[in-house]
A and B are shown apart, each in its own frame.
Chain A
Amino acid sequence: MSWLPPLALGFWGVVLLQAWASGRLNLLLRADFHGLVLGAGLALLLLALASLRWRPQRRSRLIPWTALLMLWAALVVLATPPRPSLSTLAANRSASDLGASPLSFLSPPEQRSLTDWVRLLRNQPDPALYGGEPVRVSGFVLAVPGQAPELARLLVRCCLADATPVGLAVRWPPGRPWPQPDQWLKVSGVMGVEQHQGAARSVLLAQQLIQIPEPARPLEP
Protein backbone atom coordinates (compact mmCIF):
# COMPACT_ATOMS: atom_id res chain seq x y z
CA MET A 1 0.00 0.00 0.00
CA SER A 2 3.00 2.32 -0.31
CA TRP A 3 1.37 3.83 -3.41
CA LEU A 4 -1.67 4.99 -1.45
CA PRO A 5 -0.25 8.22 0.06
CA PRO A 6 1.16 9.52 -3.26
CA LEU A 7 -2.12 8.58 -4.95
CA ALA A 8 -4.14 10.52 -2.37
CA LEU A 9 -1.83 13.52 -2.76
CA GLY A 10 -2.03 13.31 -6.55
CA PHE A 11 -5.81 13.22 -6.49
CA TRP A 12 -5.91 16.37 -4.40
CA GLY A 13 -3.68 17.96 -7.03
CA VAL A 14 -6.24 16.90 -9.64
CA VAL A 15 -9.09 18.30 -7.49
CA LEU A 16 -7.43 21.71 -7.29
CA LEU A 17 -6.54 21.78 -10.98
CA GLN A 18 -10.03 20.65 -11.99
CA ALA A 19 -11.60 23.30 -9.75
CA TRP A 20 -9.45 25.94 -11.45
CA ALA A 21 -10.00 24.70 -15.02
CA SER A 22 -13.74 24.04 -14.74
CA GLY A 23 -14.61 27.42 -13.25
CA ARG A 24 -15.71 25.79 -9.98
CA LEU A 25 -13.48 28.23 -8.13
CA ASN A 26 -15.57 31.12 -9.41
CA LEU A 27 -18.34 29.90 -7.16
CA LEU A 28 -16.14 29.22 -4.14
CA LEU A 29 -13.29 31.69 -3.87
CA ARG A 30 -12.45 35.28 -4.63
CA ALA A 31 -10.45 35.58 -7.86
CA ASP A 32 -7.32 36.75 -5.97
CA PHE A 33 -6.89 33.20 -4.65
CA HIS A 34 -7.34 31.33 -7.92
CA GLY A 35 -3.66 31.51 -8.88
CA LEU A 36 -2.71 30.13 -5.49
CA VAL A 37 -5.02 27.14 -5.97
CA LEU A 38 -3.61 26.52 -9.46
CA GLY A 39 -0.03 26.62 -8.13
CA ALA A 40 -0.89 24.32 -5.23
CA GLY A 41 -2.62 21.86 -7.59
CA LEU A 42 0.41 21.69 -9.88
CA ALA A 43 2.77 21.34 -6.92
CA LEU A 44 0.73 18.52 -5.37
CA LEU A 45 0.59 16.62 -8.64
CA LEU A 46 4.33 16.97 -9.25
CA LEU A 47 5.15 15.98 -5.67
CA ALA A 48 2.93 12.90 -5.97
CA LEU A 49 4.62 11.84 -9.22
CA ALA A 50 8.08 12.42 -7.71
CA SER A 51 7.09 10.41 -4.66
CA LEU A 52 5.94 7.48 -6.82
CA ARG A 53 9.15 7.61 -8.88
CA TRP A 54 11.65 7.89 -6.04
CA ARG A 55 10.89 5.72 -3.03
CA PRO A 56 12.80 6.50 0.17
CA GLN A 57 14.82 3.80 1.93
CA ARG A 58 13.06 4.49 5.20
CA ARG A 59 9.43 5.55 5.15
CA SER A 60 7.95 7.96 7.65
CA ARG A 61 5.13 6.57 9.74
CA LEU A 62 1.63 7.58 8.66
CA ILE A 63 -1.59 7.32 10.65
CA PRO A 64 -3.19 4.49 8.61
CA TRP A 65 -6.62 5.94 7.92
CA THR A 66 -5.49 9.40 6.83
CA ALA A 67 -4.36 8.49 3.29
CA LEU A 68 -7.54 6.48 2.73
CA LEU A 69 -9.75 9.29 4.06
CA MET A 70 -7.96 11.90 1.95
CA LEU A 71 -8.24 9.74 -1.19
CA TRP A 72 -11.94 9.10 -0.58
CA ALA A 73 -12.61 12.80 0.12
CA ALA A 74 -10.75 13.86 -3.03
CA LEU A 75 -12.85 11.51 -5.16
CA VAL A 76 -16.10 12.71 -3.57
CA VAL A 77 -15.18 16.40 -4.01
CA LEU A 78 -14.15 15.72 -7.60
CA ALA A 79 -17.40 13.92 -8.40
CA THR A 80 -19.76 16.29 -6.59
CA PRO A 81 -19.55 19.90 -7.75
CA PRO A 82 -20.97 22.54 -5.40
CA ARG A 83 -24.47 23.77 -6.18
CA PRO A 84 -25.26 26.08 -3.29
CA SER A 85 -28.54 27.85 -2.85
CA LEU A 86 -27.31 31.45 -2.78
CA SER A 87 -30.64 32.52 -1.32
CA THR A 88 -30.27 30.05 1.57
CA LEU A 89 -26.71 31.19 2.14
CA ALA A 90 -27.66 34.87 2.03
CA ALA A 91 -30.64 34.36 4.34
CA ASN A 92 -28.25 33.36 7.09
CA ARG A 93 -25.98 36.36 6.70
CA SER A 94 -26.42 40.01 7.61
CA ALA A 95 -26.39 42.47 4.75
CA SER A 96 -22.87 43.59 4.03
CA ASP A 97 -21.61 47.01 5.03
CA LEU A 98 -20.00 48.30 1.88
CA GLY A 99 -17.87 50.74 3.82
CA ALA A 100 -16.39 53.83 2.23
CA SER A 101 -15.60 52.18 -1.10
CA PRO A 102 -15.38 54.51 -4.07
CA LEU A 103 -18.68 55.08 -5.84
CA SER A 104 -19.30 54.81 -9.55
CA PHE A 105 -20.64 58.34 -9.71
CA LEU A 106 -19.60 58.77 -13.30
CA SER A 107 -21.49 55.74 -14.58
CA PRO A 108 -24.80 56.65 -16.16
CA PRO A 109 -27.66 55.15 -14.12
CA GLU A 110 -28.46 52.42 -16.64
CA GLN A 111 -24.84 51.21 -16.55
CA ARG A 112 -24.65 50.84 -12.77
CA SER A 113 -24.44 47.31 -11.42
CA LEU A 114 -26.62 46.15 -8.55
CA THR A 115 -23.69 46.61 -6.17
CA ASP A 116 -23.11 50.15 -7.49
CA TRP A 117 -26.75 50.99 -6.78
CA VAL A 118 -26.68 49.55 -3.26
CA ARG A 119 -23.46 51.40 -2.52
CA LEU A 120 -24.93 54.65 -3.84
CA LEU A 121 -28.16 54.25 -1.86
CA ARG A 122 -26.26 53.58 1.36
CA ASN A 123 -23.92 56.52 0.93
CA GLN A 124 -26.61 58.97 -0.18
CA PRO A 125 -29.90 57.45 0.90
CA ASP A 126 -32.18 60.36 -0.11
CA PRO A 127 -34.65 58.59 -2.47
CA ALA A 128 -35.61 61.86 -4.14
CA LEU A 129 -32.19 61.98 -5.81
CA TYR A 130 -32.83 58.90 -7.92
CA GLY A 131 -36.58 58.99 -8.70
CA GLY A 132 -37.23 58.13 -12.36
CA GLU A 133 -33.65 57.09 -13.18
CA PRO A 134 -33.42 54.05 -15.48
CA VAL A 135 -32.09 50.84 -13.91
CA ARG A 136 -30.73 47.70 -15.60
CA VAL A 137 -29.27 45.23 -13.14
CA SER A 138 -28.89 41.49 -12.74
CA GLY A 139 -28.81 39.31 -9.64
CA PHE A 140 -30.45 36.38 -7.93
CA VAL A 141 -33.81 36.45 -6.19
CA LEU A 142 -33.39 36.63 -2.42
CA ALA A 143 -36.41 35.70 -0.31
CA VAL A 144 -37.10 38.19 2.50
CA PRO A 145 -39.44 36.87 5.23
CA GLY A 146 -42.75 38.76 5.25
CA GLN A 147 -41.78 41.04 2.39
CA ALA A 148 -41.35 41.01 -1.37
CA PRO A 149 -38.15 39.28 -2.48
CA GLU A 150 -35.13 41.42 -3.28
CA LEU A 151 -32.66 41.21 -6.13
CA ALA A 152 -29.26 40.46 -4.63
CA ARG A 153 -25.60 39.66 -5.20
CA LEU A 154 -23.10 38.05 -2.85
CA LEU A 155 -19.88 39.84 -1.95
CA VAL A 156 -16.90 37.72 -1.04
CA ARG A 157 -13.67 38.75 0.65
CA CYS A 158 -12.10 35.32 0.77
CA CYS A 159 -14.33 32.30 0.14
CA LEU A 160 -17.98 31.34 0.22
CA ALA A 161 -17.74 31.05 4.00
CA ASP A 162 -17.60 34.83 4.37
CA ALA A 163 -20.02 35.73 1.57
CA THR A 164 -22.44 38.50 2.54
CA PRO A 165 -25.43 39.67 0.53
CA VAL A 166 -26.24 43.09 -0.88
CA GLY A 167 -29.87 43.41 -1.91
CA LEU A 168 -31.98 45.96 -3.76
CA ALA A 169 -35.66 46.38 -2.87
CA VAL A 170 -37.84 45.62 -5.91
CA ARG A 171 -41.52 46.25 -6.61
CA TRP A 172 -42.27 43.31 -8.91
CA PRO A 173 -44.65 43.77 -11.88
CA PRO A 174 -48.24 43.57 -10.61
CA GLY A 175 -50.50 40.67 -11.53
CA ARG A 176 -47.68 38.13 -11.68
CA PRO A 177 -46.39 35.84 -8.95
CA TRP A 178 -43.11 36.78 -7.35
CA PRO A 179 -40.11 34.99 -8.88
CA GLN A 180 -38.69 31.95 -7.13
CA PRO A 181 -35.67 32.32 -4.81
CA ASP A 182 -32.29 31.60 -6.44
CA GLN A 183 -33.57 32.47 -9.94
CA TRP A 184 -31.11 34.69 -11.81
CA LEU A 185 -32.84 37.65 -13.42
CA LYS A 186 -32.00 40.69 -15.49
CA VAL A 187 -34.37 43.40 -14.35
CA SER A 188 -35.08 46.64 -16.21
CA GLY A 189 -37.15 49.44 -14.77
CA VAL A 190 -36.89 52.80 -13.06
CA MET A 191 -36.00 53.85 -9.56
CA GLY A 192 -38.99 54.90 -7.48
CA VAL A 193 -39.85 55.83 -3.91
CA GLU A 194 -41.95 53.86 -1.43
CA GLN A 195 -42.80 54.07 2.25
CA HIS A 196 -41.11 51.34 4.24
CA GLN A 197 -41.41 51.04 8.04
CA GLY A 198 -42.40 54.70 8.29
CA ALA A 199 -39.63 56.10 6.11
CA ALA A 200 -39.19 56.75 2.41
CA ARG A 201 -36.80 54.46 0.58
CA SER A 202 -35.70 53.83 -2.97
CA VAL A 203 -37.22 50.86 -4.73
CA LEU A 204 -36.65 49.42 -8.17
CA LEU A 205 -39.95 49.51 -10.07
CA ALA A 206 -39.45 46.48 -12.28
CA GLN A 207 -40.90 46.70 -15.78
CA GLN A 208 -39.17 43.84 -17.57
CA LEU A 209 -37.81 40.58 -16.15
CA ILE A 210 -35.59 38.28 -18.17
CA GLN A 211 -34.50 34.97 -16.71
CA ILE A 212 -30.76 34.50 -17.28
CA PRO A 213 -28.38 31.61 -16.57
CA GLU A 214 -26.19 31.84 -13.48
CA PRO A 215 -23.20 34.01 -14.48
CA ALA A 216 -19.75 32.46 -14.74
CA ARG A 217 -18.64 34.60 -11.81
CA PRO A 218 -21.65 34.80 -9.48
CA LEU A 219 -19.64 36.27 -6.58
CA GLU A 220 -18.49 39.87 -6.54
CA PRO A 221 -15.37 41.19 -4.80
Chain B
Amino acid sequence: MAGIAFNSAQGATVWAVFQGLLLEALPFLLIGVSIATLGRAWDPRGRWLQRLPNHPLLGPLSGAALGFALPACECGNVPVARRLLAVGAPLGSALGFLFAAPVLNPIVLLATWAAFPDRPWLLLLRPFGSLLIALVLAALLQLLPEAALLSQDLLAERRLNQPLASASLLERRGGQLGAAAPPPMALAPPPPWAELLDHGLREFLELGALLLMGSAIAALLQTLIPRDVFLSLGQAPTLSVLSLMLLALVVSVCSSVDAFLALGFADQVTPGALLAFLLLGPVIDLKSLSLFGRLFQPRAILLVVAAVSLTVLLIGQWLNLVLL
Protein backbone atom coordinates (compact mmCIF):
# COMPACT_ATOMS: atom_id res chain seq x y z
CA MET B 1 0.00 0.00 0.00
CA ALA B 2 3.05 2.27 0.27
CA GLY B 3 2.77 3.10 -3.40
CA ILE B 4 -0.75 4.44 -3.02
CA ALA B 5 -0.38 6.37 0.21
CA PHE B 6 -2.92 9.18 0.39
CA ASN B 7 -1.62 12.74 0.70
CA SER B 8 -3.19 16.16 0.52
CA ALA B 9 -2.32 16.62 -3.17
CA GLN B 10 -4.08 13.36 -3.95
CA GLY B 11 -7.05 14.37 -1.79
CA ALA B 12 -7.37 17.64 -3.72
CA THR B 13 -7.09 15.74 -7.00
CA VAL B 14 -9.76 13.19 -6.00
CA TRP B 15 -12.07 16.07 -5.13
CA ALA B 16 -11.49 17.75 -8.51
CA VAL B 17 -11.94 14.51 -10.50
CA PHE B 18 -15.13 13.82 -8.53
CA GLN B 19 -16.49 17.24 -9.47
CA GLY B 20 -15.48 16.75 -13.09
CA LEU B 21 -17.28 13.42 -13.32
CA LEU B 22 -20.36 14.74 -11.56
CA LEU B 23 -20.74 18.01 -13.45
CA GLU B 24 -20.32 16.17 -16.74
CA ALA B 25 -22.88 13.49 -15.86
CA LEU B 26 -25.62 15.62 -14.26
CA PRO B 27 -26.79 17.28 -17.51
CA PHE B 28 -27.09 13.84 -19.15
CA LEU B 29 -28.99 12.54 -16.14
CA LEU B 30 -31.35 15.50 -16.41
CA ILE B 31 -31.88 14.79 -20.12
CA GLY B 32 -32.68 11.15 -19.33
CA VAL B 33 -35.11 12.03 -16.53
CA SER B 34 -36.74 14.66 -18.80
CA ILE B 35 -37.26 12.13 -21.60
CA ALA B 36 -38.76 9.68 -19.11
CA THR B 37 -41.02 12.36 -17.61
CA LEU B 38 -42.18 13.60 -21.01
CA GLY B 39 -42.92 10.00 -21.96
CA ARG B 40 -45.04 9.78 -18.82
CA ALA B 41 -46.96 12.87 -19.88
CA TRP B 42 -47.44 11.70 -23.46
CA ASP B 43 -48.44 8.15 -22.66
CA PRO B 44 -49.25 7.92 -18.92
CA ARG B 45 -50.25 4.27 -18.98
CA GLY B 46 -47.54 3.26 -21.42
CA ARG B 47 -49.96 1.74 -23.92
CA TRP B 48 -47.56 2.32 -26.81
CA LEU B 49 -44.56 1.02 -24.96
CA GLN B 50 -46.44 -2.10 -23.89
CA ARG B 51 -46.84 -2.90 -27.59
CA LEU B 52 -43.11 -3.33 -28.10
CA PRO B 53 -42.38 -6.93 -29.13
CA ASN B 54 -42.20 -9.55 -26.41
CA HIS B 55 -40.23 -11.95 -28.62
CA PRO B 56 -36.93 -13.19 -27.11
CA LEU B 57 -34.97 -11.84 -30.09
CA LEU B 58 -37.17 -9.04 -31.44
CA GLY B 59 -37.74 -7.61 -27.95
CA PRO B 60 -34.10 -6.71 -27.20
CA LEU B 61 -33.56 -5.70 -30.84
CA SER B 62 -36.48 -3.27 -30.73
CA GLY B 63 -35.21 -1.88 -27.41
CA ALA B 64 -31.72 -1.46 -28.87
CA ALA B 65 -33.20 0.31 -31.89
CA LEU B 66 -34.82 2.84 -29.55
CA GLY B 67 -31.29 4.12 -28.93
CA PHE B 68 -31.38 5.78 -32.35
CA ALA B 69 -34.50 7.70 -31.35
CA LEU B 70 -33.43 8.54 -27.80
CA PRO B 71 -29.69 9.13 -27.93
CA ALA B 72 -28.37 9.11 -24.37
CA CYS B 73 -25.24 7.87 -22.69
CA GLU B 74 -25.35 5.36 -19.86
CA CYS B 75 -26.33 7.93 -17.19
CA GLY B 76 -29.21 9.28 -19.23
CA ASN B 77 -30.63 5.98 -20.34
CA VAL B 78 -31.13 4.50 -16.84
CA PRO B 79 -34.16 6.73 -16.07
CA VAL B 80 -35.56 6.04 -19.55
CA ALA B 81 -35.12 2.28 -19.08
CA ARG B 82 -36.72 2.58 -15.65
CA ARG B 83 -39.70 4.31 -17.25
CA LEU B 84 -39.97 1.51 -19.84
CA LEU B 85 -39.99 -1.08 -17.07
CA ALA B 86 -42.39 0.90 -14.88
CA VAL B 87 -45.06 1.22 -17.57
CA GLY B 88 -45.00 -2.50 -18.19
CA ALA B 89 -43.04 -2.58 -21.46
CA PRO B 90 -41.80 -6.10 -22.30
CA LEU B 91 -38.76 -6.94 -20.20
CA GLY B 92 -36.63 -7.86 -23.24
CA SER B 93 -37.24 -4.50 -24.94
CA ALA B 94 -36.42 -2.51 -21.81
CA LEU B 95 -33.25 -4.51 -21.16
CA GLY B 96 -32.21 -4.26 -24.82
CA PHE B 97 -32.54 -0.50 -24.56
CA LEU B 98 -30.67 -0.32 -21.25
CA PHE B 99 -27.67 -2.32 -22.40
CA ALA B 100 -27.36 -1.47 -26.10
CA ALA B 101 -28.62 2.10 -26.45
CA PRO B 102 -25.49 3.71 -24.91
CA VAL B 103 -23.57 2.46 -27.98
CA LEU B 104 -26.28 2.08 -30.63
CA ASN B 105 -27.02 5.74 -31.02
CA PRO B 106 -25.85 8.16 -33.68
CA ILE B 107 -23.73 10.30 -31.35
CA VAL B 108 -21.63 7.41 -30.05
CA LEU B 109 -21.24 5.77 -33.46
CA LEU B 110 -20.13 9.07 -35.01
CA ALA B 111 -17.67 9.66 -32.15
CA THR B 112 -16.21 6.17 -32.66
CA TRP B 113 -15.82 6.82 -36.36
CA ALA B 114 -14.22 10.22 -35.69
CA ALA B 115 -11.71 8.67 -33.26
CA PHE B 116 -10.88 5.55 -35.28
CA PRO B 117 -11.42 6.20 -39.00
CA ASP B 118 -8.47 3.89 -39.75
CA ARG B 119 -9.89 0.87 -37.89
CA PRO B 120 -12.97 -0.22 -39.87
CA TRP B 121 -13.21 -3.46 -37.88
CA LEU B 122 -13.80 -1.43 -34.73
CA LEU B 123 -16.58 0.61 -36.34
CA LEU B 124 -18.30 -2.66 -37.23
CA LEU B 125 -17.57 -4.71 -34.12
CA ARG B 126 -18.49 -2.08 -31.53
CA PRO B 127 -22.21 -1.88 -32.47
CA PHE B 128 -22.46 -5.61 -33.21
CA GLY B 129 -20.66 -6.53 -30.00
CA SER B 130 -22.90 -4.20 -28.06
CA LEU B 131 -25.98 -5.79 -29.61
CA LEU B 132 -24.69 -9.26 -28.78
CA ILE B 133 -24.11 -8.24 -25.15
CA ALA B 134 -27.63 -6.83 -24.93
CA LEU B 135 -29.09 -10.06 -26.34
CA VAL B 136 -27.09 -12.22 -23.93
CA LEU B 137 -27.95 -10.10 -20.90
CA ALA B 138 -31.63 -9.83 -21.84
CA ALA B 139 -31.90 -13.59 -22.36
CA LEU B 140 -30.14 -14.31 -19.08
CA LEU B 141 -32.00 -11.81 -16.92
CA GLN B 142 -35.36 -12.95 -18.30
CA LEU B 143 -34.67 -16.37 -16.77
CA LEU B 144 -35.18 -14.73 -13.37
CA PRO B 145 -38.67 -14.09 -12.06
CA GLU B 146 -39.42 -10.36 -12.12
CA ALA B 147 -39.61 -10.29 -8.32
CA ALA B 148 -36.01 -11.50 -8.12
CA LEU B 149 -34.83 -9.16 -10.86
CA LEU B 150 -36.40 -5.75 -10.33
CA SER B 151 -36.10 -3.47 -7.32
CA GLN B 152 -39.16 -3.52 -5.08
CA ASP B 153 -40.33 0.02 -5.91
CA LEU B 154 -39.98 -0.54 -9.62
CA LEU B 155 -41.73 -3.89 -9.43
CA ALA B 156 -44.69 -2.35 -7.58
CA GLU B 157 -44.97 0.38 -10.20
CA ARG B 158 -44.70 -2.13 -13.03
CA ARG B 159 -47.40 -4.36 -11.55
CA LEU B 160 -49.82 -1.43 -11.49
CA ASN B 161 -49.36 -0.85 -15.20
CA GLN B 162 -49.20 -4.39 -16.46
CA PRO B 163 -52.37 -5.87 -17.96
CA LEU B 164 -54.39 -7.99 -15.56
CA ALA B 165 -53.40 -11.04 -17.58
CA SER B 166 -49.81 -10.54 -16.42
CA ALA B 167 -50.27 -9.28 -12.88
CA SER B 168 -53.28 -10.04 -10.72
CA LEU B 169 -54.93 -7.55 -8.39
CA LEU B 170 -53.30 -9.27 -5.43
CA GLU B 171 -49.86 -8.63 -6.92
CA ARG B 172 -50.60 -4.93 -7.31
CA ARG B 173 -49.22 -3.59 -4.09
CA GLY B 174 -50.62 -0.11 -3.63
CA GLY B 175 -53.17 -0.65 -6.40
CA GLN B 176 -56.90 -1.05 -6.07
CA LEU B 177 -56.43 -3.42 -3.12
CA GLY B 178 -55.02 -1.87 0.01
CA ALA B 179 -54.33 1.49 -1.53
CA ALA B 180 -54.30 4.53 0.72
CA ALA B 181 -57.34 6.77 0.43
CA PRO B 182 -56.67 9.71 -1.89
CA PRO B 183 -56.25 13.06 -0.10
CA PRO B 184 -59.22 15.44 -0.26
CA MET B 185 -59.34 17.63 -3.33
CA ALA B 186 -57.98 21.14 -2.91
CA LEU B 187 -60.29 24.03 -3.76
CA ALA B 188 -58.05 25.19 -6.62
CA PRO B 189 -56.43 22.04 -8.00
CA PRO B 190 -52.84 22.42 -9.17
CA PRO B 191 -52.14 22.04 -12.88
CA PRO B 192 -51.89 18.41 -14.02
CA TRP B 193 -48.21 18.75 -14.81
CA ALA B 194 -47.40 19.56 -11.16
CA GLU B 195 -47.55 15.86 -10.38
CA LEU B 196 -45.30 15.05 -13.35
CA LEU B 197 -42.83 17.69 -12.23
CA ASP B 198 -42.83 16.32 -8.70
CA HIS B 199 -42.23 12.81 -9.99
CA GLY B 200 -39.38 13.91 -12.26
CA LEU B 201 -37.80 15.93 -9.46
CA ARG B 202 -37.77 12.99 -7.10
CA GLU B 203 -36.45 10.66 -9.79
CA PHE B 204 -33.59 13.09 -10.45
CA LEU B 205 -32.73 13.36 -6.76
CA GLU B 206 -32.73 9.60 -6.19
CA LEU B 207 -30.57 8.87 -9.22
CA GLY B 208 -28.39 11.89 -8.44
CA ALA B 209 -27.68 10.57 -4.94
CA LEU B 210 -26.53 7.26 -6.43
CA LEU B 211 -24.46 9.14 -9.02
CA LEU B 212 -22.72 11.01 -6.19
CA MET B 213 -21.57 7.75 -4.66
CA GLY B 214 -20.49 6.19 -7.97
CA SER B 215 -18.52 9.31 -8.96
CA ALA B 216 -16.80 9.43 -5.57
CA ILE B 217 -15.64 5.80 -5.82
CA ALA B 218 -14.50 6.26 -9.44
CA ALA B 219 -12.56 9.44 -8.59
CA LEU B 220 -10.89 7.79 -5.61
CA LEU B 221 -9.82 4.67 -7.49
CA GLN B 222 -8.57 6.39 -10.61
CA THR B 223 -6.47 8.84 -8.61
CA LEU B 224 -4.96 6.19 -6.37
CA ILE B 225 -4.30 3.48 -8.97
CA PRO B 226 -1.84 4.56 -11.68
CA ARG B 227 -3.28 4.08 -15.15
CA ASP B 228 -0.04 2.35 -16.14
CA VAL B 229 -1.09 -0.55 -13.91
CA PHE B 230 -3.84 -1.23 -16.45
CA LEU B 231 -1.82 -0.44 -19.56
CA SER B 232 1.37 -2.28 -18.58
CA LEU B 233 -0.31 -5.56 -19.47
CA GLY B 234 -1.15 -4.14 -22.88
CA GLN B 235 0.42 -6.77 -25.11
CA ALA B 236 -0.54 -9.98 -23.29
CA PRO B 237 -3.65 -11.23 -25.12
CA THR B 238 -5.84 -12.24 -22.17
CA LEU B 239 -4.43 -9.98 -19.47
CA SER B 240 -4.68 -6.95 -21.74
CA VAL B 241 -8.40 -7.59 -22.24
CA LEU B 242 -8.94 -8.03 -18.51
CA SER B 243 -6.93 -4.96 -17.57
CA LEU B 244 -8.71 -2.71 -20.07
CA MET B 245 -12.05 -4.02 -18.79
CA LEU B 246 -10.99 -2.95 -15.30
CA LEU B 247 -9.90 0.41 -16.64
CA ALA B 248 -13.32 0.94 -18.28
CA LEU B 249 -14.98 0.07 -14.99
CA VAL B 250 -12.89 2.55 -13.02
CA VAL B 251 -12.60 5.48 -15.44
CA SER B 252 -16.41 5.78 -15.79
CA VAL B 253 -16.43 8.21 -18.71
CA CYS B 254 -19.52 8.78 -20.80
CA SER B 255 -19.97 6.49 -23.82
CA SER B 256 -20.16 9.48 -26.16
CA VAL B 257 -16.50 10.34 -25.49
CA ASP B 258 -14.87 7.06 -24.45
CA ALA B 259 -13.59 6.46 -28.00
CA PHE B 260 -11.51 9.65 -27.80
CA LEU B 261 -10.09 8.52 -24.48
CA ALA B 262 -9.26 5.10 -25.97
CA LEU B 263 -7.47 6.83 -28.84
CA GLY B 264 -4.83 7.90 -26.32
CA PHE B 265 -3.71 4.33 -25.62
CA ALA B 266 -5.00 2.42 -28.66
CA ASP B 267 -1.50 1.67 -29.95
CA GLN B 268 -0.31 0.34 -26.59
CA VAL B 269 -2.91 -2.41 -26.24
CA THR B 270 -4.16 -5.42 -28.20
CA PRO B 271 -7.16 -4.98 -30.55
CA GLY B 272 -9.26 -7.24 -28.31
CA ALA B 273 -8.47 -5.10 -25.28
CA LEU B 274 -9.39 -1.92 -27.17
CA LEU B 275 -12.73 -3.39 -28.21
CA ALA B 276 -13.34 -4.71 -24.68
CA PHE B 277 -12.80 -1.19 -23.28
CA LEU B 278 -15.32 0.25 -25.73
CA LEU B 279 -17.88 -2.52 -25.11
CA LEU B 280 -17.78 -2.83 -21.34
CA GLY B 281 -17.74 0.85 -20.31
CA PRO B 282 -21.14 1.71 -21.82
CA VAL B 283 -22.81 -1.23 -20.04
CA ILE B 284 -21.19 -1.09 -16.61
CA ASP B 285 -18.86 1.26 -14.81
CA LEU B 286 -18.69 2.42 -11.22
CA LYS B 287 -20.94 5.38 -12.01
CA SER B 288 -23.68 3.45 -13.82
CA LEU B 289 -23.53 0.49 -11.44
CA SER B 290 -24.63 2.80 -8.65
CA LEU B 291 -27.59 3.87 -10.80
CA PHE B 292 -28.56 0.24 -11.45
CA GLY B 293 -29.60 0.11 -7.77
CA ARG B 294 -32.80 1.91 -8.85
CA LEU B 295 -33.61 -0.83 -11.35
CA PHE B 296 -32.41 -4.18 -10.11
CA GLN B 297 -32.06 -6.30 -7.00
CA PRO B 298 -28.42 -6.57 -5.78
CA ARG B 299 -28.15 -10.20 -6.92
CA ALA B 300 -29.36 -9.27 -10.39
CA ILE B 301 -26.70 -6.53 -10.56
CA LEU B 302 -24.05 -9.12 -9.70
CA LEU B 303 -25.40 -11.34 -12.46
CA VAL B 304 -25.20 -8.44 -14.94
CA VAL B 305 -21.59 -7.76 -13.93
CA ALA B 306 -20.59 -11.41 -14.24
CA ALA B 307 -22.38 -12.00 -17.53
CA VAL B 308 -21.22 -8.85 -19.28
CA SER B 309 -17.64 -9.37 -18.08
CA LEU B 310 -17.55 -12.91 -19.41
CA THR B 311 -19.15 -11.95 -22.72
CA VAL B 312 -16.77 -9.05 -23.26
CA LEU B 313 -13.77 -11.18 -22.30
CA LEU B 314 -14.78 -13.82 -24.85
CA ILE B 315 -15.32 -11.21 -27.58
CA GLY B 316 -11.94 -9.62 -26.82
CA GLN B 317 -10.21 -13.00 -26.82
CA TRP B 318 -11.83 -13.96 -30.10
CA LEU B 319 -10.70 -10.73 -31.74
CA ASN B 320 -7.15 -11.19 -30.48
CA LEU B 321 -7.13 -14.71 -31.93
CA VAL B 322 -8.27 -13.40 -35.31
CA LEU B 323 -6.11 -10.29 -35.56
CA LEU B 324 -2.91 -11.13 -33.68
Contact = CB atoms under 8 A, between A and B. Distances in A.
Interface in B208-238: 208-209, 212, 218-219, 222-223, 225-228, 231
Contacts of B203: 60
A91 B20 CA distance: 18
Nearest to A157: B260
B201 A51 contact: yes
Contact of A89 (B13, B186, B208): B13
B301 interface: no
Contact of B267 (A36, A40, A97): A97
A50 B195 CA distance: 11
Contacts of B208: 12, 66, 70
Chain B interface size, under 10 / 10 to 19 / 20 to 34 / 35 or more: 35 or more
B16 A55 contact: no
Contacts, number: 191
B13 A84 contact: yes
A82 B227 contact: no
Interface residues of A, number: 64
Given A56-B195, A85-B12, A66 B209 contact: yes
Contact of A59 (B20, B23, B198): B198
A89 B254 CA distance: 20
Interface in B228-280: 228, 231, 251-254, 257, 260-261, 263-268
Interface stretch (A132-140, A158-166, A170-178, A197-205): A158-166
A85 B281 CA distance: 27
Interface of chain B: mostly helix, strand, loop or mixed: helix
A29 B24 contact: yes
Nearest to A25: B23
B200 interface: yes
Contacts of A57: 182-183, 185-186, 189-190, 194-195
B144 interface: no
A109 B41 CA distance: 60
B186 A88 contact: no
Interface in A143-196: 155, 157-162, 164
A51 B197 contact: yes
Interface of B: 9-10, 12-13, 15-17, 19-24, 26-27, 30, 34, 153, 182-183, 185-186, 189-191, 193-195, 197-206, 208-209, 212, 218-219, 222-223, 225-228, 231, 251-254, 257, 260-261, 263-268
Given A28-B24, A55-B190, A80-B15, 11 more contacts: A5-B205, A37-B24, A43-B30, A55-B198, A57-B182, A57-B185, A66-B205, A66-B208, A83-B12, A92-B226, A94-B231
12 contacts: A5-B201, A6-B201, A19-B19, A29-B23, A47-B201, A54-B197, A57-B186, A88-B223, A89-B17, A96-B264, A157-B263, A160-B19
User: Lowest 8 CB-CB distances: which A-B pairs, in order?
Assistant: A82-B16, A160-B20, A84-B16, A40-B27, A159-B20, A157-B260, A85-B9, A158-B257
